[in-house]
Amino acid sequence: MTGFSDYDKYDALGLSELVRNGAVKPEELLDEAITRVEKSNPKINAVIFKHYDEAKRQIARGLPEGKFKGVPFLLKDLHLLYEGTVTSFGSAAYKDNKADHNSTLTERYLAAGLVIFGKTNSPEFGLSVTTEPRHYGPTRNPWNTEHSAGGSSGGAAAAVAAGFLPVANASDGGGSIRIPASACGLFGLKPTRARTPMGPDRGEGWAGMSSAHVVSRSVRDSAAMLDVTHGPAAGDPYAAPAFTGSYLDEVSKAPGKLRISFTTKRPNGTQSHGDVVKAIEATSKLLADLGHHVEEDAPAIDVEEMAKHQGTLIGANTLFALNMRAAELGREIAHDEIEFFTRLVSDLARTRAAADYVAATLHIHQMGRKLAAYHQRYDVHLSPTLSLPPIKLGALNTMSPDIGAYLALSAEYVPSIGLYNMTGQPSMSVPLHWNAEGLPVGSMFTGRFGEEATLFRLAGQLETASPWAQKRPTL
């Protein structure tokens, strides 16, 4: 079987259309994807588990007539389960954690006709904004392999940017879809809280801060993927506001004249890197040229208070994951099985009480109300996805005892992106700028709770006005 030489010309919907009309076979698409992984993955380390044989068996059994029939697909190595395969959370502690069932979201991917042929690299427990787990090694940015692909969905973003596939699973508990989308020059939307299911093993991720979706080249792939995955499953504890239309249809609709606020600054008032300022200013001008009302403004945020409560929620969830694994293994997790930063985060949780967890959940709910009031004045808020261009690998070292330096750089790099995980709002990174060094710089747009449709309409307009799909790194 030979591959498909026109693979790069199509997004996922385009490839699936070719499959449905008989112009290409699923086997050819899979063969092309595998060929690309085998050729270029050694350079970037995006794919850490290869399920080639299972993917071939999946095709041989017959694929459902879904919207993405025959399209190669990768899962992120974090939480999402695929029966018979390992999900390791990027950690040696979970290295043999083989699933005996599928996650609900995996079932929806399979029903859509996607062909799952591997899993992508993630930092340990998704705790870092760069993908450099000690157990699997760093994922390199295809635009410049000395730089980070972002995290925690860095493997997914690097795989899509490198051309292994047009769309890949990702998740976002503190920016983990939008950060790598920005670093790798992709489109990445974090859906509204509970828009996509977490079952059957979890009701929510990180107290509702985490959402799962994809990174992609095209806006329409992201929208169509949300069409086939959104909605609660039986037994889910709560759901996002119902959406009865088609997100894919929204992409081609005019957004109308939106009221858009923007800032180039971090919440603490300091200015972002010059390349980032240039990107946001250019994006603001483009929005004005498209007829939107644009003005400089930003919600007032107490960054230290936000970070304290975010740390409580993430720490408690990390400690629970370690305790659960220890119970499964029948022994304590050894020090050398997890990274220094993971140990620090879990140890922090041991110093906080149950009442602190309640206070943290109360805080994020109040932040949601505060941002809802802000969005009475503005339809969308524009801000930097990252306040620095993609950092170099090694700059954030999860094995370093200098935690002060680690936290300081993290705060400088991603100072406010986690805010929208706390509030649960939909938020997207759009690749509208590349700096003089050829590194992508994303623009982040955040909308009202439950209003992904507004963001998809705006993203479709921006993609038409300033197309980015033709920009590809060379490995």
Catalytically active residues are 76, 152, 176
Residue 329: partners with Cβ closer than 8 Å, 6 or more residues away = none
Residues in the chain: 475
Question: Which string of b and e fits 226-261 if b means at least 16 CB within 10 Å?
Answer: bbbbbbbeeebeeebeebeeebbebbeeebeebebb
What is the DSSP code string of 141-207?
ETTEEEEE--SSSHHHHHHHHTTS-SEEEEEESSSTTHHHHHHHT-EEEEPPTTSS--TTT-S-BGG
User: Tokens 């949300």 label which residue?
Assistant: 226
Count Cα neighbours of 188 within 13 Å in the Cβ-side half-sphere: 39
In degrees and rounded to multiples of 5, residue 133 shows phi and psi of -65, 140
Q: Are 131 and 154 in contact (CB under 8 A)?
A: yes
Compute the C-alpha angle 413/418/424, nearest 5°. Answer: 160
